[in-house]
Structure 1
Amino acid sequence: MFTGLTALLLLLALARRGWGARGTQTQGALPPGPTPLPQLGNLLQLESRRLDRALMELSGRWSPVFTMRLGPHPAVVLCGYSALRDALVLQADAFSGRGFSNASLAETVSIVFSNGRRWPTLRNFAMGALKEFGLGTRTIEERILEEAAYVPGEFQATIGAPFDPRRLLDNAVSNVICSDPEFLRLLDLFHDNFRIMSSRWGLMYNIFPSLLDWLPGPHHRIFQNFTELRVFISERTQRHQQTRQPGEPHDFIDCFLDQMDKEQEDPESHFQEETLVMTTHNLFFGGTETTSTTLRYGLLILLKYPEMAAKVQAELDAVVGWMHTPRLEDRERLPYTSAVLHEIQRLISVLPLGLPRALTRDTHLRGYILPKGTFVIPLLMSSHRDPTQFKDPDCFNPTNFLDDKGNFQSNDAFMPFAPGLGQEGRGQGWAGPQRHGAHPASLCPQESGCAWVQAWRDQR
């Protein structure tokens, strides 16, 4: 299927731009990499394999820092813990730009793909608001424990019959954020978009948007789904406008609307209704899909390694007991359980390529001068599979996070979401509304929780 699609794209590209189109040329001294074809770049070398695995293999043939061409667009790939650290940690500011070649998918007014001052402004606002509504406090924990109490009963109701836990786990995670029954439909839209964007259709559309617009395929469903998502969030925003009390926010949307009121006279304000819709979408998407996927793979791994699951259960029984549920305060006394949870995230690498980056200025990296605006692919999975950092990196081994005495030990190479944060984003926190009794950050008034926040805590 994709061989035919690639051939068609090649013919269309050649007809439109000519064999020697300048889009394949590179400005600046980018690192060497595999020889590209005009317009197609190195896509044929990625044709039959998972993109992350293919990039890992190419890195072994070239170097930890090499250049790929996704169609006509050059991209510098960072592979291995050392290269990722040198770029994303030691030069965090320079690599803090958000890279995306197709603006229609980039959602540039959102928190995830923003660039310039919008990124630290929205990031700090979101973190400040969520902290006010329970981030890092017992409020979030209580909401999660409440929802988790229902999950075992649902599992038991299957009476041992095979079943797919995806919808159950999606629901459990999303209920922490928003208990609106209509949200069940949105979960399906999130999952469908995540699947399409992770497929070759999504990759090809991002590289050749103007061409794929004319070709049939599932990539068109991304925008249909997104329109429905946007309508849902916009309707919730309108309800907040009608019912909220300015200065007395009950959730994240109220906080954002308050900030819009404060900056309504500022023509350069980043707080606009479209930004609210897109940022809320990002928080929904990031909180449900990554969390439920991690839980689902975690169950699969523990089923495959029952002896390790038994050790986790034994530790929980000894430390927590049968009459109580595990809490965050128990974590330090559960080293093996913590190691298993970290090893699950390491092995599955739920965001194997991380979020695309773009250089904010000309930058030196390992003897090369990378020009401002260079597109960068941080291959986070390569850090998790780095044999210099983890024992038997392709195997599930919780001792990767245990010392010789069985105590939990962290590892800087563990980066399930991303390492580093640009300096311009630090120390500029938003104070948030100073009132007590506010409900935790959510999208629906009087509902509590935000399941994605732990992921952001780990990332930052």
Structure 2
Amino acid sequence: MRSKSTNRTSLLLFTVLFLLIADYLKTRRPSSFPPGPWALPFVGNIFTVDFNRLAETYGDVYSLRMGQTWMMVLNGFQIVKEALVTQGDSLADRPMLPLQADISHNLGETGLSNGHLWKQQRRFALSTLKYFGVGSKSLERIHHLHKIVCFTCPGKPFNPHVIINNAVSNIICSLVFGHRFEYEDERFINFINNMSASTRTKLSSVSSGRLPGPHHTVQQFFSEVKDMIRSEIKEHRKNWNPAEPRDYIDCYLTEIQMRKGDAESTFDEENLVMGALDLFTAGSETTSTTLRWAFLYMAKYPEIQEKVQAEIDRVIGHSRQPSMMDRANLPYTDAVIHEIQRMGNIVPLAVPHSTNRDIQLGDYTVPKGVVIIPNLTSVLFDKREWETPYTFNPGHFLNEEGKFVKRAAFIPFSAGKRVCLGENLARMEIFLFFTSFMQRFTFSMPAGTKPVLDYCFGITLAPAPYEICATPRRE
């Protein structure tokens, strides 16, 4: 008996040792790669969280292994600019990452699509966004939101997450579906919950292999979102008139019809589903998360909030809603918004890129097909680019005359060929929502509570749940 037990133990040890050696030989760091932290057997560096601290040890370019895939991480404005802008054509592709592949099936604009498909889908999405615009609808929804805040929680503590999420998401619903939802609508509630839950996904779940737990959970979230989009498309087909497009779906259905028989066309219903999903991802979560950071920062720095309100009072007054035409005359307010975006840092890592040819990055020759992760946090807090990188300072975006100046290192939406599709939409929404709220409310923490700038870590960095008071400035 003892001999059999010893044999089993020896066999187990041999098997484990064999697997460890095989894993090391198969996945050891390529000789051309930059240095990086030691990777755990089989899973690599999927538990790595602090990318910025690693840069202090290994430099602006270092390598990580997520599961079986080696990646390079870029840190600091100069090397990120070199990769995404100067050599943007060489890094315009997306890598084949398991979770994204299972969600997007290589379709849509921001998923894993590359080449002709990506260019055609992106061109259409940008032109459609420009055609519709959402300025008037944004103001309409903001006015509706003011009433909710005034009547349900005037000056009383409330959690702004759901209210803001609903309002912002309804703007995208108006753009994509042609209508808004009542906040009590069960389908809308499930839709918003699934979108929010998906953005809490950790980077390791996106970059590594198909981990049974988180991978399938996030896949389920997106599956339910796509089902709702499909049901909207089905309804659109019933009374769709190509001559009078009401929204993004109508325009896309027209494009499908116009390009029938075109061998070069990439327009079909599945790409429509993914394109709509891309718009919701790019245009709703970024805006609502930024606004929740904005309320916190204004409560933490009341003197800055007062200066914003004084500028709005002077330029716009109280009798009309803000418009995008006002932005040029609100330099301090614009600077505060940009500083909120910089400090909020809601997308810490850009969606991974992939080299489509051999390139030189810094001191390293990067082969074709290598996954590249631009660390946007390292750019927004780069000590070489910002005078006080870890201090909330609107002066970062003002010159000596007090005029607004956009800094080159301000790239919260990434940069280059793959810059966020919804950047212009999100920037407009953030400006209109923020100025309108500052015009009508003063934000403060509940009595006895101090602002806490903790965040929930995921694909986006959202503030930890909090309550805040919005006191009407005037009736």
Measured against the shorter chain, the TM-score band is 0.7 to 0.9
CA change 1:234–1:452 in 2 (3 A) is farther
CA change 1:61–1:27 in 2 (3 A) is closer
Alignment of 1:425-440 (within 5 A): none
Q: Which residue of 2 aligns with 1:430?
A: none
Counterparts of 2:244 and 2:306 in 1: how far apart (Å)? 48
Is 1:170 the counterpart of 2:165 in the alignment?
yes
Structure 1 residue ranges, 4+ long, deviating more than 4 angstroms after superposition: 13-18, 450-453
Counterparts of 2:104 and 2:390 in 1: how far apart (Å)? 32
Instruction: Answer yes or no: is the 8 Å Cα contact 1:234–1:277 preserved in 2.
Output: yes
2:106 alignment partner AA? T
Q: Which residue of 1 aligns with 2:114?
A: 115
- Residue 97 of structure 1 aligns to a residue in which SS? coil
Is 1:203 the counterpart of 2:194 in the alignment?
no
Could you tell me which of 13, 17, 41 is aligned with 1:38? 41
Is 1:326 the counterpart of 2:322 in the alignment?
yes
Alignment of 1:93-242 (within 5 A): 93-102=89-98, 103-113=101-111, 114-134=113-133, 140-156=134-150, 157-178=152-173, 179-181=180-182, 182-195=187-200, 197=201, 199=202, 203-204=204-205, 206-209=207-210, 212-213=211-212, 217-242=213-238
- Residue 155 of structure 1 aligns to a residue in which SS? helix
- Residue 91 of structure 2 aligns to a residue in which SS? coil
Counterparts of 2:73 and 2:230 in 1: how far apart (Å)? 37
Alignment of 1:41-440 (within 5 A): 41-43=44-46, 46=48, 51=49, 54-102=50-98, 103-113=101-111, 114-134=113-133, 140-156=134-150, 157-178=152-173, 179-181=180-182, 182-195=187-200, 197=201, 199=202, 203-204=204-205, 206-209=207-210, 212-213=211-212, 217-421=213-417
- Residue 275 of structure 2 aligns to a residue in which SS? helix
Instruction: Answer yes or no: is the 8 Å Cα contact 2:195–2:281 preserved in 1.
Output: yes
CA change 1:119–1:362 in 2 (3 A) is same
- Of structures 1 and 2, the one scoring higher in RCO (CA 8 A, sep 6+) is 1
- Residue 98 of structure 1 aligns to a residue in which SS? coil
1:256 is displaced (CA, Å) by 1.1
CA change 1:385–1:300 in 2 (3 A) is same
Uncovered stretches (5+) of structure 2, i.e. residues with no partner: 1-12, 174-179, 430-475
Counterparts of 2:261 and 2:20 in 1: how far apart (Å)? 49
Counterparts of 1:218 and 1:285 in 2: how far apart (Å)? 19
- Residue 373 of structure 2 aligns to a residue in which SS? strand
Could you tell me which of 19, 22, 29 is aligned with 2:21? 19
Instruction: Answer yes or no: is the 8 Å Cα contact 1:402–1:408 preserved in 2.
Output: yes
Instruction: Answer yes or no: is the 8 Å Cα contact 2:339–2:396 preserved in 1.
Output: yes
Instruction: Answer yes or no: is the 8 Å Cα contact 2:36–2:63 preserved in 1.
Output: yes
Instruction: Answer yes or no: is the 8 Å Cα contact 1:67–1:74 preserved in 2.
Output: yes
- Residue 94 of structure 1 aligns to a residue in which SS? helix
Alpha-carbon deviations, 1:382-439, whole Å to 9, x = none?
11101111121111110000111211111000001111127xx9xxxxxxxxxxxxxx
- Residue 372 of structure 1 aligns to a residue in which SS? coil
Counterparts of 1:203 and 1:43 in 2: how far apart (Å)? 5
Counterparts of 1:451 and 1:128 in 2: how far apart (Å)? 12
Counterparts of 2:57 and 2:75 in 1: how far apart (Å)? 12
Pairs aligned (count): 400
Alpha-carbon deviations, 1:337-359, whole Å to 9, x = none?
00000000001111110111111
Instruction: Answer yes or no: is the 8 Å Cα contact 2:284–2:426 preserved in 1.
Output: no
CA change 1:168–1:108 in 2 (3 A) is same
Counterparts of 1:28 and 1:94 in 2: how far apart (Å)? 21
1:221 is displaced (CA, Å) by 2.5
Counterparts of 1:336 and 1:421 in 2: how far apart (Å)? 30
Counterparts of 2:323 and 2:153 in 1: how far apart (Å)? 27
**TM superposition score normalised by structure 2:** 0.79
Counterparts of 2:35 and 2:20 in 1: how far apart (Å)? 24
Alpha-carbon deviations, 1:136-191, whole Å to 9, x = none?
xxxx2211111111223322331333211111101111222220343332111101
2:110 alignment partner AA? V
Instruction: Answer yes or no: is the 8 Å Cα contact 1:253–1:276 preserved in 2.
Output: yes
1:279 is displaced (CA, Å) by 1.2
Instruction: Answer yes or no: is the 8 Å Cα contact 1:176–1:451 preserved in 2.
Output: no
Q: Which residue of 2 aligns with 1:440?
A: none
Counterparts of 1:390 and 1:205 in 2: how far apart (Å)? 31
CA RMSD in angstroms comes to: 2.5
CA change 1:452–1:94 in 2 (3 A) is closer
Instruction: Answer yes or no: is the 8 Å Cα contact 1:346–1:414 preserved in 2.
Output: yes
CA change 1:457–1:26 in 2 (3 A) is farther
1:454 alignment partner AA? L
Instruction: Answer yes or no: is the 8 Å Cα contact 1:353–1:377 preserved in 2.
Output: yes
1:88 is displaced (CA, Å) by 0.6
Uncovered stretches (5+) of structure 1, i.e. residues with no partner: 1-10, 135-139, 426-449
Instruction: Answer yes or no: is the 8 Å Cα contact 2:282–2:422 preserved in 1.
Output: no
- Residue 225 of structure 1 aligns to a residue in which SS? helix
- Residue 421 of structure 1 aligns to a residue in which SS? helix
